[in-house]
Amino acid sequence: MTGRTQFLLVTLTCLVAVATGCSKSEKAPVEGEPENAVRQPTVATDGFDPFRDGLLRRKLNSANASADSAKAKTQFSLVLDSGIEFTNTFPRNKNNRLIETGSGVAIGDYDGDGEADVYLLAAEGPNKLYRGLGGFKFEDVTATAGVDGSTLGNDALAAGASFADVDNDGDLDLFVCNMASADLLYINQGDGTFTNEAALRGIGKTGASKVGSFCDYDLDGDLDLYVVTYRDTTDSRTPQTMTIGDRVYIHPDYRNAFGFVDGKIKESGQSDFLFRNDGEGFFTDVTAEAQIIDHAMGLSATWLDYNDDGLPDLYVANDAWQSDRLFQNRGNGTFVDSLPSVTRHMPWFSMGSDQGDLNNDGHVDLMVGEMSPSSHFRQMLNRGNVDESAWFLEFGAPRQTMRNAVYLNSGSGQFMDVGQMTGLSSTNWTWAMRFADLNNDGRLDVFVTNGHARDSMNADIVGNLARLKDQGKIDSLLEARKNVPPLREKNMAFANRGNLEFEDASQKWGLDLEGISHGVAMADLDHDGDLDLVVNNFYEPASVYRNDSQEGNRLTLSLRSPSGNTFGYGAKVELWCGGQLQTKHLSPVRGYLSSDEPVLHFGLGAASTVDRMRITWPGGNVEEFEQLEAGQHYLAIETATQLDTPAKPEQQVANLAFLESETGLKVEFEHQDGKHDDFARQPLLPYHTSRMGPGIALGDINNDGLSDVFTGNGNNRPGSLRVNRGATIFEEIDGPWVKHFLQDDMGVLFFDADGDGDQDLLVTSGGSEYELGHEQLRDRLYLNQQGEVFDYAERSLPRTGVSSSTAAALDFDRDGDLDLIVGSRSIPHKYPIASPTRLLRNERGTFVDVSWKSAKPLATAGIVNSVVCTDFNDDGWPDLVLATEWGPVRFLQNDDGKFHDATERLGVAPFTGWWRGLAAGDFDSDGDLDFVATNQGLNTKYRADSNHPIRLYFGDFDDSGRMDLIESHFEGDTEYPVRGLKSLSNAMPFVGQKFEKFVDFASAPLAEIYDVDGRQSAFKEANYLQSSIFWNDGNSFRVEPLPRMAQTSPGFGVEVLDYDCDGDIDILIANNFFGAQPETGLMDGGLGALLANDGDGKFSFVWPGESGVSLEQDSSGLAVADLDFDGDLDAIVCVHSGKTRTLINQANPESFWKLTISGAKGNSRSIGAQVTVTFGDGKIQRHEVRAGGSYLSQSASEIVVYASDENPISTIRVAWPTGEIVELGKEDLANDGEITIDITDATSGQSDDSAKK
């Protein structure tokens, strides 16, 4: 800050306590001091003992349970005799519903006596200040203090408040936001009174202010202010527009009330304000200068440093149609909205928000509340005609969804919304959404306030009001609005059990008050080291909760700085204790319209000592302390000697496992979709069946040793073949596929179809754009003419005209040439009924369907999304593993050229899911192949287990001649429909005829809505949704879910690779799905998943900030190869309606063995060959040469093996699918690098009967 050149070095001997009752007038300049000198506040240290330089402490009170909580057996008890007697009300005969958004509460020790004081705000009537007396006793000092919030019109409609030391004198001032009058800044006079100086200091704006949040955003040493605004009335004017050039703008006179939402004019909110503190608490409006543009109905503003660059950023939660904002601090006084670049969606009706480290990884996470009901009944009652908003839900930018968001910070600049996986996505009509460690176990729990003044989302009520409006009955409409009943809901609390799992502890903790609650603030009101709560309720007395937790040690921390930021707002505190990291930022304005006491709380669990604590002060100064005792309240005083604003901290570049290639080695391809409307024929589809691609295939088409790339494309766009020229160049070449642009490419596969030694190309056609049997559903085979020229072999494949999916090559009959397996998806417009998957035998380059003869189980396999050809029982015959939708992962065993279903015998039949991707690898190094399969995951609206599956009923329920669908789910043991009344009745009118009221439909189980058994009994179900490993135990498979962070979105492409070259097989997954029906929204919680194998078959998720895998788009196909010839495997990921991503592995191993297995004519790439590697310590690793797998994709056929000097390779054994064997010993492996193992060097390893030629 200008004029401030040095810190006051505070030592324990020069600390001067601020005497209680000292007035402003007593704080005169020191004699001889320059008139404009910056005075440093003194620091109150009464009751504290010296501990370390810059750190004082005092012992916390013992944690004793109250009689009330002990009797109720709850952790929290409602204190009824605290002296706080306050009820927030608003006349129900008024029709301005915008005012019924409630009020908040602020807590702070304004008089410096060591007791927290409480300020409660009122929508009508006076606000109240309660001075803390200790022992949960308070006295009303509002009149004496002069802070009742009264204004000239006495109609302030107070909303939010926050304590902060605005004028840099060492005590807390009070800022109050009003909806209907000027905001108030009560400057603390130091004698128990306050004076409103808002206008004098430049922040006395009049508007629909909600709350002000203080932070030193420019790091100049004083507190700046952001004021979030709403709107205070409905504007009945017709907005005028103006045209400048070719753009239409809203006239300036209307911009504070209207805005564009995706091209449509809708009512908007007022402008928010950013005020810069220019010294001693005098402010300048820099909103425009800082490039803060947010004309919206804002409800909360949360400061956080989401990208950990030392600069405070700001999340603004906006109600209704306007987008939320994440204003990233550029460090030059300006901000940019980065929300669209860090997440793909946000809540629709955003309300309260909070920040904190939810999973103890050191990164700040973010939570935003909405009003999504937690019960089926309320979901159906609130879900009116969603079809009217379908355009907005599907095409808004960013998308908006009808649920809370729990944004997990990945450390890569991207957030992952894990709300549905944590169970926190639907918490009813939520205002405040708060992080806090309520049980002192070191993990952040969640508390939410709920309810609303009127049940205004009840679809029956909304419909009645709309009818009165349409009929022009305005008086009746206004009267009906007054009579809308309140929505009383219970507040909720969720205990964090670790691993992103939360338990509803509302009743157990005693925090399930039913009513209408808005703001909540937290503080340790009885000095026992845990957090107590004060909740501002509507129409009922405020609630004061005492936390009587007996569990867990605890520690609290206050901060003091001699700068203009007296209480250290914005400081980052990291605490290492009990093998766990806790990271907290001091930002008192939290949740909704409320402000906590500026004290940090840390639950320590069983630990009695803190190993280390690091404080990073807002200006960048860092101090560390070690060996801190639990059960203490610490006071840390900034003791740095330099106050000048430090340079912006340099961002440390992590040693990433993968780097995404932006300019060098990169496959330049952008998938485009024809945007077919699948819902026109089947309006109740769970997702777009035409948006399931693309796939990618890697193969060497010109035998130059380099991997070339074919990527499929969408309907109306041709696929693309790019030839690898080396030196980072992929050259696109044309071929006959260009003429087949009308087809929707699905599976892609390089293999030798005609036995001439080069790689031909198969592209399957799928989607639902065309009817069954249509010419554009023909699969296509392109024959390689000895290089880079392909011919379309029109008659080589059966003309089935079905919607195909995946494809893979195998020599199933062991006759020396390659046959095909081609999967099928659903019949167009008849989802989920699928055409049969086909086994095609190669007869001299012509492929004949022999499924009926050699693979009968394929006829009933259903939708097949992926297939791996593999010898899972190690008998020398290639078997099939199928990933099916609405079914299990199916294992078809090849018995001498005929396939039999072994799924049930192998123990995996009970695990029915939406399986999509498949890969095989020897994860436990026991010499047999295990499998990994991707699934729907745990982070979508779907929940299932063996007793409560999700189901899809299908048939012609209304005799319309069309395939109807009914999705169902369970709540408890009762089965209900997934879709709402309007969606169902629009598709099947008899439903609307049966249920005239939403309330009746909402309470009806599925059996009362549909006579499912009588009309049509066909259904499919899924009871297991986790992506999983199938462990090969010899005679059976054991199913184990992948780590929880691999379940954050639907998985698709999956491949196995030893990414870190440590000799253990790891897993890479491409995930997310953007094609769900609009109500569901984007399933985008993933960023891809790199799973590291620890060597014992246990996998851990490698965070994107370390892995470099940050795939935020709609990823599908995935393939791996050594693209840059450095011995490690790189990855290419396909994106639906987006650009292909190329990930370059940074392992760069010093030694490796790259094996090329050469076969005989007809199968020159040795597809099906088994490679067994034995290491010096006896560990065995199994590999297999395959063509096809992952999801619609194919990786390069090369095998790369790594070893160390400590554990070298002993032998490599290769078994060809026709029985020949080669074994290499140590002498053959003396030199690492590329090794070609040729079948001509092999000897027969099997009997003549089994080694057919």
Assign 3-class secondary structure to 538-552.
ECCECEEEEECCCCC
Confirm if 1060 and 1038 have CB atoms less than 8 A apart. Answer: no
Whole-model pTM?
0.93
Q: Is the confidence at residue 1248, as pLDDT, over 50?
A: no
Q: Is the confidence at residue 644, as pLDDT, over 60?
A: no
Weakest-pLDDT range from 10-24, 38-52, 173-187: 10-24
Ramachandran area for residue 1108 (φ above 0: left; ψ -120 to 50: alpha; else beta) = left
pLDDT tens sequence across 786-830: 889 999 999 999 999 999 999 999 999 999 999 999 999 999 999
When pLDDT is averaged across residues 992-996 and rounded to a whole number, the result is 95
Q: Are strands 345-347 and 399-401 parallel, antiparallel or unpaired?
A: parallel
Q: Is the confidence at residue 889, as pLDDT, over 80?
A: yes
Name the band, by pLDDT with cuts 50, 70 and 90, for residue 675: confident
Please state, in angstroms and rounded to a whole number, the distance separating the CA atoms of residues 417 and 244.
Answer: 39
When pLDDT is averaged across residues 465-482 and rounded to a whole number, the result is 91
Q: Is the confidence at residue 335, as pLDDT, over 90?
A: yes
Name the band, by pLDDT with cuts 50, 70 and 90, for residue 1013: low
Rounded (to 5) percent helix, strand, coil in the chain: 10, 40, 50
Q: Is the confidence at residue 1178, as pLDDT, over 70?
A: yes
**C-alpha closest to that of 1045 among 442, 408, 495:** 408
What local confidence, expressed as pLDDT, does residue 771 receive?
96
What is the maximum span of the chain, computed from C-alpha positions, in angstroms? 109
Give residues with Cβ within 8 angstroms of 1014, minimum separation 6: none
Q: Is the confidence at residue 641, as pLDDT, over 60?
A: no
Mean predicted lDDT score pLDDT of the chain? 90
Q: Is the confidence at residue 892, as pLDDT, over 80?
A: yes
What local confidence, expressed as pLDDT, does residue 961 receive?
87
Q: Is the confidence at residue 2, as pLDDT, over 80?
A: no
What local confidence, expressed as pLDDT, does residue 16 receive?
32
When pLDDT is averaged across residues 640-652 and rounded to a whole number, the result is 47
Q: Is the confidence at residue 269, as pLDDT, over 90?
A: no
SS (H, E, C) 986-1046: HHCHHHHHHCCCHHHHHCCCHHHHCCHHHHCCCEEEECCCCCEEEEECCCCEEEEECCHHH
Of 137-141, 475-479, 1144-1148, 1156-1160, give the range with the top mean pLDDT.
137-141
When pLDDT is averaged across residues 332-337 and rounded to a whole number, the result is 97
Name the band, by pLDDT with cuts 50, 70 and 90, for residue 772: very high
What local confidence, expressed as pLDDT, does residue 241 receive?
66
Taking the CB of residue 36, how many other CB atoms lie within 10 A of it?
9
What local confidence, expressed as pLDDT, does residue 1088 receive?
98
Weakest-pLDDT range from 17-31, 190-204, 293-307, 851-865: 17-31
Domains located in the chain, CATH noted: 658-943+1022-1170 (2.130.10.130), 954-972+982-1018 (no CATH), 1171-1244 (no CATH)
Q: Is the confidence at residue 35, as pLDDT, over 50?
A: no
Alpha helices in 347-413 (DSSP H): 376-382, 390-395
Give residues with Cβ within 8 angstroms of 900, minimum separation 6: 857, 892, 893
Weakest-pLDDT range from 261-270, 353-362, 803-812, 934-943: 261-270
Name the band, by pLDDT with cuts 50, 70 and 90, for residue 1233: confident
DSSP state of 315: E
Taking the CB of residue 948, how many other CB atoms lie within 10 A of it?
16
Q: Is the confidence at residue 23, as pLDDT, over 70?
A: no
When pLDDT is averaged across residues 844-854 and rounded to a whole number, the result is 97
What local confidence, expressed as pLDDT, does residue 566 receive?
96
Weakest-pLDDT range from 350-354, 726-730, 1139-1143: 726-730
Q: Is the confidence at residue 46, as pLDDT, over 90?
A: no
pLDDT tens sequence across 484-495: 999 999 999 999
What local confidence, expressed as pLDDT, does residue 1239 receive?
81
When pLDDT is averaged across residues 932-938 and rounded to a whole number, the result is 99
Q: Is the confidence at residue 27, as pLDDT, over 50?
A: no
Confirm if 521 and 104 have CB atoms less than 8 A apart. Answer: yes
Give the sign of the dihedral formed by CA 734, CA 735, CA 741, CA 744: negative
pLDDT tens sequence across 114-165: 999 999 999 989 999 999 999 999 999 999 999 999 876 557 899 999 999 9
How distant, in Å, are the alpha carbons of 49, 631, 760, 846, 1240 from that of 754? 87, 78, 8, 8, 21
520-535 exposure pattern, b = at least 16 Cβ within 10 A, e = fewer: bbbbbbbbbbbbbbbb
When pLDDT is averaged across residues 686-701 and rounded to a whole number, the result is 97
What local confidence, expressed as pLDDT, does residue 44 receive?
64
Please state, in angstroms and rounded to a whole number, the distance separating the CA atoms of residues 900 and 910.
Answer: 18
| 849 SS3 class | strand
What local confidence, expressed as pLDDT, does residue 353 receive?
98
Q: Is the confidence at residue 1167, as pLDDT, over 80?
A: yes
Please state, in angstroms and rounded to a whole number, the distance separating the CA atoms of residues 873 and 890.
Answer: 14
Please state, in angstroms and rounded to a whole number, the distance separating the CA atoms of residues 1181 and 116.
Answer: 64
What local confidence, expressed as pLDDT, does residue 489 receive?
98
Q: Is the confidence at residue 1012, as pLDDT, over 90?
A: no
When pLDDT is averaged across residues 481-486 and rounded to a whole number, the result is 92
Please state, in angstroms and rounded to a whole number, the distance separating the CA atoms of residues 1226 and 321.
Answer: 68
What local confidence, expressed as pLDDT, does residue 104 receive?
98
**C-alpha closest to that of 340 among 407, 404, 398, 292:** 398
When pLDDT is averaged across residues 518-523 and rounded to a whole number, the result is 99
Distance of CA 1049 to the CA centre of its chain: 8
**C-alpha closest to that of 546 among 69, 59, 83:** 69
Please state, in angstroms and rounded to a whole number, the distance separating the CA atoms of residues 755 and 783.
Answer: 11
Element (H, E) at 419: helix 419-422
When pLDDT is averaged across residues 952-971 and rounded to a whole number, the result is 93
Confirm if 558 and 524 have CB atoms less than 8 A apart. Answer: no
Token duo for residue 325: 């904002």
% of the chain exceeding 70 in pLDDT: 89
Q: Is the confidence at residue 171, as pLDDT, over 50?
A: yes
Element (H, E) at 341: helix 339-342
Geometric angle at alpha carbon 383, from 380 and 384, rounded to 5°: 125
User: What beta strand segments (E) does 251-382 contain?
Assistant: 258-261, 264-267, 273-277, 283-285, 297-304, 313-319, 325-329, 335-337, 345-347, 353-356, 365-368
Please state, in angstroms and rounded to a whole number, the distance separating the CA atoms of residues 176 and 209.
Answer: 9
Weakest-pLDDT range from 61-70, 298-307, 319-328: 61-70
Name the band, by pLDDT with cuts 50, 70 and 90, for residue 17: very low
49-63 exposure pattern, b = at least 16 Cβ within 10 A, e = fewer: eebeebbbbbebeeb
When pLDDT is averaged across residues 67-90 and rounded to a whole number, the result is 87
Distance of CA 136 to the CA centre of its chain: 40
Please state, in angstroms and rounded to a whole number, the distance separating the CA atoms of residues 284 and 277.
Answer: 7
Please state, in angstroms and rounded to a whole number, the distance separating the CA atoms of residues 629 and 609.
Answer: 5
pLDDT tens sequence across 1055-1113: 999 999 999 999 999 999 999 998 899 999 999 999 999 988 899 999 999 999 999 99
